[in-house]
Amino acid sequence: MMQITVTVNGTSYRREIEPRLLLIHFLRDELRLTGSHWGCDTSNCGACVVWLDDIPVKSCTMLAAMADGRRVRTVEGLESGGRLDPVQEGFAQCHGLQCGFCTPGMLMTARWLLDHNPDPSAEQIREAISGQICRCTGYENIVRSIQWAAKHSEPAG
Amino acid sequence: MTGPPVPGQQEPASPAPGAYGPVRRKEDARFIRGRGRFVDDIQLPGMLYGAILRSPLAHARILSVDTEAALAHPRVEAVITGETLARRDLAWMPTLSRDVQAVLATDKVRYQGQEVAFVVATDRYSARDALELINVEYEPLPPVIDAERALDSGAPVVRDDLGKTSNHIFDWEAGDAAATDAAFASADVVVTQDMLYPRSHPAPLETCGMVADLDSVSGKLTLWSTTQAPHAHRTMYALVAGIPEHKIRVVSPDIGGGFGNKVPVYPGYLCTIVGTMLTGRPVKWVEDRSENLMSTSFARDYHMHGEIAATRDGRILGLRAKVLADHGAFNATAQPTKVPAGFFHIFTGSYDLQAAHCQVTAVHTNKAPGGVAYACSFRITEAVYLVERMVDLLARELDMDPAQLRLRNLLRPEQFPYPSPTGWQYDSGNYPRALALAMDMAGYDELRAEQAERRQRGEYMGIGLSFFTEGVGAGPRAHMDILGLGMADGADLRVFPTGKAVLAISVQTQGQGHETTFAQIVAQELGLTPDDVEVVHGDTDVTPFGLGTYGSRSTPVSGAAAVVVARKVRERARIVAAAMLEVSADDLEWTGGAWQVRGDPEQSATIPQIAMAAHGSVELPDGVEGHLDAETVYNPPNLTFPFGAYICVTDVDPGTGAVKVRRFIAVDDCGVRINPMIVEGQVHGGLADGVGMALMQVIAYDENGNCLGGSFMDYLLPTAVECPSWELGETVTPSPHHPIGAKGVGESATVGSPPAVVNSVLDALAPFGVRHADMPLTPASVWSAIQGRPLRTDLAVS
């Protein structure tokens, strides 16, 4: 067993864990933050995407121990002060989800994209989410959702 | 009967009347916040975790299973083997196709990934650790992998447990053989082709799983389960495990996609139930991705031979199909018809032809069981692929444009209701209109001109069409059941004193948006807004019996039940309104979302006003019980028959074999659309599936029966970069027998799109003289076809 301290969505958690514990299971089973999902084991589907420090990572192929002393942001940390993030609004406005299983990972990638490219083209959006799989939407409305969010996001800085 | 108007409402809450339209989904509020509740999100006090030991071999005799070391693991609470289950008469369970399937293997393993033992431990990781401690001694047997060799004399026999001496399952035929022979004899042209619809997998993003909790005091067993059919599963558990049905509660919480994968009862579910019975504690089991791909219901695996007959000027006369169906180790196709090949005999498709005959032979192989899954409308996917490939091949033989050949032979609007040569009764359609719209949207003539110009430059562009007719909304009692259960669906509607309503339905959602669409249906019928109606689903304790969500049946069956029950409420309200307004009920008319005295708009009552009165403030006529609540059961009189015209434009690089889908135009007609936004979303998803199946997805095996599609590294699903921006069009031909004229749509695009993509790629390859190549048209497959050496895509290339 080992001790780690991880700041998740602004709250610091200290936990005793097995060194082999995956970050996705730490978030879901230990912290009960079940918004991030596990879908494939092989880093292909992206249902588990969260931010580590400020970079999207696939938490099914990272150890919780690797997050020791670092910051994690999950879908539960998108809403702030009772206000939805524009990417959350965008997915609801443009029917960017059906079963909702891939949605949290898609939202985290979308937020990262818009932070770094506030006005992405459709091709840039498709490229950004190409490491993630959605089985329901055929991606069309996910692209539209992120475009909606780009239009409704406040300028960075 | 025509449907109500479909106003273009853009705001989340639409005012009554006119609740139909692109209403934003109620479900989204929880999902965008990460607050969905999927099976693996459920955590109960004292909960244990299960894991399954699976066979590494495709075919082997089990000599011994030693669990001693696993049981000695400090965190292991129980180890269950086939022997444990055999003592409870649970080692085998019935399939949905009148076969049996091993829950945990006792005699032999029959495919790689088959369930052998189940460990229950205090945490996920320890359960997995303990699997490593189980020692199974196998005697390897030669496997049967290639369906085309399964009936060879001397082939290993998969199902010796049934006393079988061969791998034959059934022979079945439909249509009129003699009439078909006559049609072929009179034809100028006959075209034949062998084609494979390869084994595929629905692969919902959430895998299958269950949390089982037996209350040892009350005897109540609660099962949170990834099921598309909670009521049918409850009955199955009662029948198989002998648990009284009223002591079982199946909850289907949020489900991360189904696509048919979550219709069957899988061995893991029964093991989880036995786990809670043995330990007295809740048990969670969630399979991993490889388990999902290797052991749960695959789809398709139809080896087809098609023959089409026509006159020289392009009049189609007859169609034949001969199919070899690979059902895997257990005949577990999840389909409700009383015939063994599902709806395959709808294979005459959308064409007006004289005669047709199909013949299907099914075999066992040492591969995972299944065959009907994955948005296929019970084999219509295979049927549409066959006829649409044959029509394209005929066009090439006749040197006719494939669109013109289709227009020449499509059923005409005046032929509906249309009795098909194999016994179907298509309800309604206007096919030429849909194809003309698709061609117009695509700019078909310009595309052909561009193609000719590009070919001059040595560029290979393809234009592929498909036209499909689906039959969805299973189904009529005379022809369909599941384990003897008829396919009717119930609906209960309660209207509270303030006029707010709760609708309980038997189907549940895996992303279809029932909480929104069904609220729209009730709102439309009662003059309420969708926000006034709460939809309850997915919990057998609080919903009426029904067979669940698959085969695009929710709107055709349960949607109809919702309409009927709402109209019952409306009729009850009429009696109360008559008392309130002191007129005869006959003097009232339903208009503007209220009961109104004929000719006197000042005198009317809305449902909320009537509901309050019905609960106590008005003197009721004799014989009227009060309240407005109603219930119903809907038995569909026929299937509904949605249809569509698809056009796919591809660019093929002959040097690498790479295919790019440049455009995809899809015109769908699913009758009246309750929520067009949701319909279009479902079509988008199905189109992506079609591109995946045509170009990427296949569950192949090597000669030893090793599954070569056991992870998302190997089983390739389309991402956003493989998909074009879909171009959708719509025509509306209401179903005459559905109470609001709606038809199902969930599987239309999955059924209709693969042949459009394949026809497009083969159109691009025409200058190379390539007639046909099998899905998936991977770069390797396309390149090999160009070299004149088409690949067998379902077996390992050695």
What pTM does this model have?
A: 0.97
What kind and span of H or E run contains B319?
A: strand B316-326
How far is B137 from B61, CA to CA, in rounded Å?
9
Backbone angles phi, psi at B108, to 5 degrees: -140, 160
Would an 8 Å CB–CB cutoff place B45 in contact with chain A? no
Residues 6+ apart with CB under 8 A from B395: B401, B402, B405
Q: Note whether B321 and B283 are within 8 A (CB).
A: no
Cα angle, residue B783 at apex, residues B782 and B787 outer, rounded to 5°: 115
What the block records as the tokens of B768 is 């190379």
Comparing CB atoms, the residue among B257, B682, B685 nearest residue A101 is B257
- Strand B643-652 and strand B76-81: the pairing is unpaired
Q: How many residues does chain A have?
A: 157
Instruction: Classify strands A11-17 and A2-8 as parallel, antiparallel or unpaired.
Output: antiparallel
Find out whether the peptide bond into B7 is cis, omega within 30 degrees of 0. Answer: no
* DSSP H or E stretch at residue B709: none
> Is the Cβ pair A41, B288 closer than 8 Å?
yes
Distance of CA B169 to the CA centre of its chain: 24
Residues near B615 by Cβ (< 8 Å), separated by ≥ 6? Answer: B497, B626, B627
Cβ–Cβ gap B25/A95 under 8 Å: yes
What is the distance between the alpha carbons of residues A40 and A65, in angstroms, rounded to a whole number?
21
- For position B484, what pLDDT does the model report? 87
Query: Would you give the DSSP letter of residue B548?
Result: -
Which parts of chain B register pLDDT below 70? 1-17, 797-798
Q: Which of residues 1-20 of B touch A (CB under 8 A)?
A: none
- Whether B42 and chain A come into contact, CB under 8 Å, resolves to no
Task: Enter the tokens of residue B433.
Answer: 């209109």
Whether B282 and B276 have beta carbons less than 8 Å apart is answered as yes
Q: The sheet that has A2-8: what strands, in order across it?
A: A11-17, A2-8, A71-73, A49-52, A55-58
Nearest CB among A33, A127, A138 relative to B687 is that of: A138
Shortest distance between the Cα of A137 and any Cα of chain B, in A, equals: 4
Specify whether the CB–CB gap between B178 and B367 falls below 8 A: no
Please give the structure tokens belonging to residue B446.
């310009």
Contact B512 A98 (CB under 8 A): yes
Show residues of chain B in contact with A137, CB under 8 Å: 681, 684-685, 688
Q: Nearest chain A residue to B691 by CA: give it.
A: A138
Q: What is the ipTM of this complex?
A: 0.98
Nearest to B370 by CA among B555, B208, B255, B478: B208
Q: What are phi and psi of B59, to 5 degrees?
A: -155, 115
Of A44, A88, A92, which is closest to B712 when you measure between CB atoms? A44
Give contacts of B259 with chain A, Cβ < 8 Å. 135
Best residue of B646, B719, B723, B747 to probe chain A, by most A CBs closer than 10 Å: B719
Q: Which residues of chain A have pLDDT under 50?
A: 157
Contacts of A41 in chain B (CB under 8 A): 288-290, 711
Length of chain B: 798
Q: In what order do the strands lie in the sheet with B135-140?
A: B108-109, B60-66, B135-140
Q: Are B519 and B535 in contact (CB under 8 A)?
A: yes
H or E stretch at B387: helix B380-398
- For residue B512, which residues of chain A lie inside 8 Å, CB to CB? 98
Name the token pair of A46: 């992206």
The string of DSSP letters for B218-238 reads: T--EEEEE--S-HHHHHHHHH
Residues 6+ apart with CB under 8 A from B477: B486, B487, B488, B635
Which of B646, B654, B659, B675 shows the shortest CA–CA distance to B518? B675
Q: In this complex, is the C-beta atom of B217 within 8 Å of any C-beta atom belonging to chain A?
A: no
H/E run at residue B789 = none
3-state secondary structure of B247: helix
Return the closest-CA partner of residue B696 out of B663, B658, B736.
B658
CB atoms within 10 A of CB B106: 17
**Chain center to CA of B426:** 20
B contacts of A42 (beta carbons < 8 Å): 289, 711-713
Instruction: Say yes or no: B33 contacts chain A, CB-CB below 8 A.
Output: yes
Write down the pLDDT at residue B495: 98
User: B635-648 as b/e, with b when 16 or more CB fall inside 10 Å?
Assistant: ebebbbbbbbbbbb
Any chain A CB within 8 A of the CB of B688? yes
Tokens for A48?
């588990």
Q: What pLDDT does residue B735 have?
A: 98
- Determine, for residues A104 and B34 on separate chains, whether the beta-carbon distance falls below 8 Å: yes
Residue pair B378/B372 in contact (Cβ under 8 Å)? The answer is: yes
Contact B573, B607 (CB under 8 A): yes
Residues of A in Cβ contact (< 8 Å) with B41: 28, 34
B721 touching A (Cβ < 8 Å): yes
Full DSSP string of A123-157: HHHHHHTTTS--SSSTTHHHHHHHHHHHHHSPPP-
CB contact under 8 A, A140 and B719: no
Nearest-Cα distance to chain B for A69, in Å, is: 24
Residue from B780, B798, B794, B781 nearest B700 by CA: B794
Give the Cα separation of A49 and A106 in Å (integer): 8
Task: Note whether B371 and B299 are within 8 A (CB).
Answer: yes
Closest CB from A36, A47, A95 relative to B205: A47
Of B34, B290, B726, the CB nearest to A35: B34
